[in-house]
Chains A and B, each alone.
Chain A
Amino acid sequence: MNKALLLQLLSDDQPRRIRVIENLLVGKRTVSTLYWGLRYDLLAWFGFEKHLARRDVANALNQLVADGSATVTNLVAQLTPTGAIQKHQLAKVTYQPVALSSWLTVARPEAWQGLQLAVQVVSEFQAANRQYYPLQVAFETRQTVKRWFLAQRRPTLAKQVRGELGQFLSAIPEPVADLWASLLVGHQTPGKTVEQLFEMTHRSALELTVIQDDIMTQLVLVTQAAPTSFPVLHELLQAWQVSPISPSAAQTLANYRAGATLSTIVEHRRLKPSTVHEHLLEAAIFLSVQQFPYAKLLPNDLQRAFAQRLTGSIDDWAFDQVSDLKIEFWQFRLYEIMRSKLSDDGDDSTTL
């Protein structure tokens, strides 16, 4: 982590817990991390830096504090007015992701690896070269590309891939499209490394990674939305369109929607009641209000009772305010999630 990323993830009007930001970046899937990710509007950054070390977070924070850009008390940080100006200026001169809200619907590292390998395979195929070092990617990704290539293999394939990638890149700002394409690998074209682009363009490694992730997400979204315009890439990339909800949480929600009660789910799936509650909360965090059965889980009279007592900023609500209502904590949290989503102008939940 560098201080530019932390600057981007902190706010001047909302104190933010450093551990939450760290856990989000690392991709620690707990309801608490996800909930605060929602509150901070940073869910998209979930798992962005899986190998982040705690000392790097501390270093970045110390630098921001030393610069006078942030203050920190008990590991809760907030930008100063200077920090807010810096954040604003940084946003003006660096690439701003356009598909951020959909980042979690694409398995970005796998999609990028898969696309790179597919481009290499097609490029070498076009050059009629069978003897080359293939990119080393995970087994599952390699198998996906292999199956795709065997199904698509025909003399016009390179031209088609060229056409579809060209069609997609024409809609991307030119300098960014140039950078992104220069990372690709193929016949007698080893591709540039992120470190080299950093040297050549003076864009930071962070910005380059954001570009890489954002363009990849856009490519998956565009090809999946218009299979007839992108028949070849649609086939390749569909494997990497994913749900941000864990399979187990999705299963719990499906069971509940199908009419099972929470206690039957606990019994049938041999889960702890608290796990089932966490599953529902996780699903609620990622889904829009319309997509989640709030009415069934939070009956109207309970919602009314909550509404009477819980006022002001959601971040300041405390369970103590409603604990006498004979409810459990998860219901309070679920209400917080619903209200977080309703209080936004638009629906910021991830598109599924």
Chain B
Amino acid sequence: MTVTTQQLYKVLAEKFGFTRFRPGQLEALTALSEGRDTLAVLPTGAGKTLIYECYGYAVQRPVVIVSPLLSLMQDQVRALNLRGETAVTAVTSLMSFTEKRVVLQHLNRYRFIFSSPEMLTQPAFLTALKACQVGLLVVDEAHCISTWGPDFRPEYLLLGRIRNALGRPLTLMATATATPQVKRDILKKMQLPTAAQIGLSVDRPNIYLKVVKTATEQDKQTQLVSLVKGLKTPGIVYFSSRKTADEVCEVLRQSGVPRVAAYHGGLSADSRYKVQQQFMNDELTVICATNAFGMGIDKANIRFVIHYHLPVDLENYWQEIGRAGRDGQQSIAILLYTPGDERLPEYLGQANIVAEADIAAFFARPRPVADDDPLRLVAFYRQHHLNQEQVIALFASRRQQRRQALATLLTYVNTSNCRRRVVQAYFGEPTSSLSQNCCDQDSPETTVENLHLTAPPTSVLPGDILPWRATLDQLFLGKS
């Protein structure tokens, strides 16, 4: 189905209230309108979701979005709800039997259908989808095909076949970060070698890059407190462990950072919702989060992202710091590093990689395995006709890749040259001219003051508990 540029602008104005597309959006939409499958690599905050939403409205056919995380899907559904779009659903493992039955029976009523690769392998869902004449298949966070597929979410590797089973609908693969190798891998696994490629630089020139090295864990905590107290908010501090997120959150609170809260998968859905809303409303100014927080958070004025732990690779790091400065204003990303910090990501990166002896034992005596068993991956590959040697080779190469990825991140940490150049080289981008406030290696004299990121002197205390009458008046009568 051909869509004209005028139609796209009409949708942009009517549905989104904009008159201009952001860089990369129209290029991707034009490629899709010409019927070309498209790989769009656009930096975080560039508006990737608008591309498929706009296309869906223009062609008036359902859009199926494959998304890696339940929380991300929920955020995306809510973001569409927020704009008044109700014909949207997320078909996930969280659905009750009744809900799933009702939704699948009426699948053609939905304009946007979110789901996971695992769910898409279920025949009932696939059959229901086939009947709705999908207008566009979107693989969101498409880098997961390459980075998660082999050792974590093998169903990602089946997306090419699933696409065929759906009758090869027009496909958009979208991601914020992809090295040349990852791009090649995505296109190969999706069986779309000739897809159009739209790419913008992954660089975020308004984010100043800094690494703070500390000798001990205690020093790190002290540094964190002083950084958070000195920086303009809102900001996010990322952790790799829920427990540390909770503990450091408490340390920050005790140190006089009043409007801080922890956010991780261990909180109830209710608390996660409230913390997120309070942060969006600027009632909370600092969030101590695990990576459960962020994908889908669209808050434009985040001024700092601090990493307390090392992420597993530079892609993840770049994705997470990309949440800062979406409004284009000066922001800062700080990575705290204590010698030995690499042990945690090393462990996390290797966690799903199965040892050679275990693979051999499984092939010698295959057995059913539980969903959370690391051998599930071996069983998956065996089921898809890989032999023992191939599986062993695959995991060996994966182990090597993970090590390499961590080594690259450590290069970023330890480099004595420009940090941005390390990132650009990693993502295979030409080195662009660098801004004056690039990183602590290029301009070590740059201070928080120079960046205009100093915390304002006053800080408001968190709200008290109101008398219940006042709370009810506020809720129902709009009295504040």
Contact call A159/B96, Cβ cutoff below 8 A: no
Contact call A116/B465, Cβ cutoff below 8 A: no
CB of A130 within 8 A of chain B?
Answer: yes
Task: Name the residue of chain B whose CB is nearest to the CB of A165.
Answer: B472
CB of A166 within 8 A of chain B?
Answer: yes
Known contacts A135-B270, A139-B95, A190-B277, A158 near B477 by CB under 8 Å: yes
A1 to chain B, nearest CB (A): 15
CB of A132 within 8 A of chain B?
Answer: yes
Considering only residues 36-64 of chain A, those with a C-beta below 8 Å from chain B are none
Q: Which of A180, A186, A196, A197 contacts B261 (CB 8 A)?
A: A196
Q: Which of A140, A158, A189, A191 contacts B96 (CB 8 A)?
A: A140
For A123, list chain B residues within 8 Å (CB). 475-476
Known contacts A136-B273, A193-B275, A119 near B475 by CB under 8 Å: yes
For A159, list chain B residues within 8 Å (CB). 476-477
Contact call B261/A178, Cβ cutoff below 8 A: no
For A191, list chain B residues within 8 Å (CB). 274
CB of B473 within 8 A of chain A?
Answer: yes
Contact with B along A136-162 (1 / 0, CB 8 A): 101110000000000000000011011
Known contacts A126-B478, A133-B277, A136-B74, A178 near B465 by CB under 8 Å: yes
Contact call B468/A177, Cβ cutoff below 8 A: yes
For B471, list chain A residues within 8 Å (CB). 178, 181-182, 184, 189
For B467, list chain A residues within 8 Å (CB). 174, 178
A253 to chain B, nearest CB (A): 26
Contact call A162/B473, Cβ cutoff below 8 A: yes
Task: Name the residue of chain A whose CB is nearest to the CB of B471.
Answer: A181
Contact with A along B82-107 (1 / 0, CB 8 A): 11100000000001101100100000
CB of A127 within 8 A of chain B?
Answer: yes
Task: Name the residue of chain B whose CB is nearest to the CB of A200.
Answer: B465
Contact call B261/A193, Cβ cutoff below 8 A: yes
Contact call A201/B475, Cβ cutoff below 8 A: no
B294 to chain A, nearest CB (A): 16
Task: Name the residue of chain A whose CB is nearest to the CB of B95.
Answer: A139
CB of A185 within 8 A of chain B?
Answer: yes
For A165, list chain B residues within 8 Å (CB). 472
CA separation between A126 and B473, bound complex, in Å? 11
B137 to chain A, nearest CB (A): 25
Contact call B267/A195, Cβ cutoff below 8 A: yes
CA separation between A159 and B466, bound complex, in Å? 19
Known contacts A193-B271, A194-B271, A161 near B84 by CB under 8 Å: no
CB of B253 within 8 A of chain A?
Answer: yes
Known contacts A190-B278, A193-B261, A178 near B81 by CB under 8 Å: no
Q: What total of A-B pairs shows CB separation below 8 Å? A: 115
CB of A131 within 8 A of chain B?
Answer: yes
Count residues on chain B whose CB falls below 8 Å from chain A CBs.
42
Contact call B262/A190, Cβ cutoff below 8 A: no
CB of B15 within 8 A of chain A?
Answer: no
Contact call A166/B469, Cβ cutoff below 8 A: yes
Contact call B253/A199, Cβ cutoff below 8 A: yes
Contact with B along A196-222 (1 / 0, CB 8 A): 110111000000000000000000000
Q: Which of B78, B81, B275, B466 contacts A182 (CB 8 A)?
A: B466
A147 to chain B, nearest CB (A): 14
CB of B2 within 8 A of chain A?
Answer: no
CA separation between A162 and B471, bound complex, in Å? 10
Interface residues on A, range: 35 or more
Residue with the greatest number of chain A CB neighbours at <10 A, chosen from B74, B262, B269, B277? B277
> Which label, helix, strand, loop or mixed, suits the secondary structure of the A interface?
helix
For B83, list chain A residues within 8 Å (CB). 131
B124 to chain A, nearest CB (A): 17
CB of A187 within 8 A of chain B?
Answer: yes
Contact call B472/A166, Cβ cutoff below 8 A: yes
For A231, list chain B residues within 8 Å (CB). none
CB of B443 within 8 A of chain A?
Answer: no
Considering only residues 423-480 of chain B, those with a C-beta below 8 Å from chain A are 462, 464-469, 471-478, 480
CB of A89 within 8 A of chain B?
Answer: no
CA separation between A314 and B292, bound complex, in Å? 51
CA separation between A192 and B277, bound complex, in Å? 10
CA separation between A131 and B78, bound complex, in Å? 10
Q: Which of B74, B281, B462, B476 contacts A122 (CB 8 A)?
A: B476
Task: Name the residue of chain A whose CB is nearest to the CB of B262.
Answer: A195
Known contacts A193-B274, A199-B253, A186 near B465 by CB under 8 Å: no
Considering only residues 107-141 of chain A, those with a C-beta below 8 Å from chain B are 113, 116, 119, 122-123, 126-127, 130-136, 138-140
CB of A169 within 8 A of chain B?
Answer: yes
CA separation between A297 and B387, bound complex, in Å? 64
CA separation between A195 and B270, bound complex, in Å? 11
For B473, list chain A residues within 8 Å (CB). 162
Contact call B478/A127, Cβ cutoff below 8 A: yes
CB of B27 within 8 A of chain A?
Answer: no
CA separation between A123 and B474, bound complex, in Å? 9
Task: Name the residue of chain A whose CB is nearest to the CB of B468.
Answer: A181
For B462, list chain A residues within 8 Å (CB). 196, 200
B234 to chain A, nearest CB (A): 15
Known contacts A127-B478, A135-B273, A139-B95, A169 near B81 by CB under 8 Å: no
CA separation between A15 and B469, bound complex, in Å? 45
B258 to chain A, nearest CB (A): 10
For B480, list chain A residues within 8 Å (CB). 188
Contact call A193/B468, Cβ cutoff below 8 A: no
Contact call A162/B476, Cβ cutoff below 8 A: yes
CB of B356 within 8 A of chain A?
Answer: no
For B476, list chain A residues within 8 Å (CB). 122-123, 126, 158-159, 161-162, 186
Known pairs A113-B270, A136-B269, A165-B472. 19 more at Cβ < 8 A?
Answer: A122-B476, A123-B476, A126-B477, A131-B83, A136-B78, A139-B96, A162-B477, A169-B472, A174-B468, A177-B468, A178-B467, A182-B466, A185-B274, A193-B261, A193-B267, A193-B271, A195-B267, A199-B253, A200-B464
Q: Mind listing 24 A-B residue pairs with CB under 8 Å?
A: A113-B270, A116-B270, A126-B478, A133-B273, A136-B273, A140-B96, A158-B476, A161-B476, A162-B477, A166-B472, A169-B472, A174-B467, A178-B465, A179-B465, A181-B472, A186-B475, A189-B471, A190-B277, A190-B283, A193-B274, A194-B270, A194-B271, A195-B262, A199-B253
A-to-B contact residues, CB < 8 Å = 113, 116, 119, 122-123, 126-127, 130-136, 138-140, 158-159, 161-162, 165-166, 169, 174, 177-182, 184-197, 199-201
The 4 closest A-B pairs by CB, nearest first: A139-B99, A190-B277, A181-B468, A186-B475
